[in-house]
């Protein structure tokens, strides 16, 4: 039997028996209330369309919530991105170079966070730009190809609107069914076994 947490149980108790949840605004209002801070892992690949859907919605001004600056302990970026931010060679920063990546130590808060705002706002790396999308989970399809699977935390209105838009898009394009715990199933009852590409 699937194991539901308390918020999922409450959502099932209220919404079991209702069809077409993805188009029910009252359902989404409840999701916002019950699933705040929940990490949602969708059977959807991080395609260009998904990134566009997200980046067009997540427009956080420099003085916004700062969650991305304090949530992570390490911030991974490419060497090019690190150079743009003048990280490499900066004696005040703790970082390590691993292959083509630079990993900046931001435990205790990001060193670029000054007076509650990002001092490198225009140069910040994709991890910060796309927060609260979490690092994609590498998943294998049944044909053994590896895909970056979308996972996102419901952290703020904007992230919630992104998840809602992506789920609605997936339901429409692939004729999927949405359950109250935000699980997606094919309408014939078969699993969404493979990572879908929107």
Residues that bind other proteins (CB under 8 A): 1-4, 8-10, 12-14, 16-19, 40-41, 177, 179, 181-183, 185-191
Shortest distance, CB of residue 139 to other proteins, whole angstroms? 14
DSSP string computed for 31-78: HHHH-TT-EEEEEEE--HHHHHHHHTT----TTS--HHHHH-SEEEEE
d(CA 146, CA 49): 18
Distance of CA 168 to the CA centre of its chain: 16
Shortest distance, CB of residue 168 to other proteins, whole angstroms? 17
Shortest distance, CB of residue 167 to other proteins, whole angstroms? 12
Q: In this complex, which beta carbon is closest to other proteins, that of residue 165 or of residue 179? A: 179
Shortest distance, CB of residue 144 to other proteins, whole angstroms? 20
In this structure, are strands 95-98 and 117-118 parallel, antiparallel, or unpaired? unpaired
Q: In this complex, which beta carbon is closest to other proteins, that of residue 32 or of residue 191? A: 191
Q: In this complex, which beta carbon is closest to other proteins, that of residue 8 or of residue 81? A: 8
């Amino acid at each position: 039997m699937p194991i539901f947490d308390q918020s999922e149980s409450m959502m099932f108790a209220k919404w079991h028996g209702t069809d077409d949840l993805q188009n029910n605004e009252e359902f989404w209002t409840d999701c916002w209330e019950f699933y705040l801070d929940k990490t949602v892992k969708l059977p959807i690949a991080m395609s260009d369309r998904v990134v566009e859907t997200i980046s067009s919605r997540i427009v956080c001004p420099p003085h916004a919530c700062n969650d991305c600056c304090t949530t992570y302990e390490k911030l991974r970026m490419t060497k090019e991105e690190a150079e743009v931010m003048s990280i490499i060679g900066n004696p005040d920063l703790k970082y390590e170079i691993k292959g083509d990546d630079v990993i900046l130590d931001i435990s205790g808060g990001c060193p670029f966070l000054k007076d509650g705002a990002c001092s490198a706002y225009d140069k910040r790396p994709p991890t910060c730009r796309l927060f609260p999308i979490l690092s994609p989970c590498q998943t294998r399809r049944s044909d053994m190809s590896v895909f970056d699977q979308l996972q996102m935390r419901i952290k703020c209105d904007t992230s919630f609107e992104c998840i809602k838009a992506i789920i609605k898009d997936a339901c429409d394009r692939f004729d999927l069914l949405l359950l109250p715990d935000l699980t997606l199933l094919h309408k014939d009852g078969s699993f969404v076994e493979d990572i879908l590409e929107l």
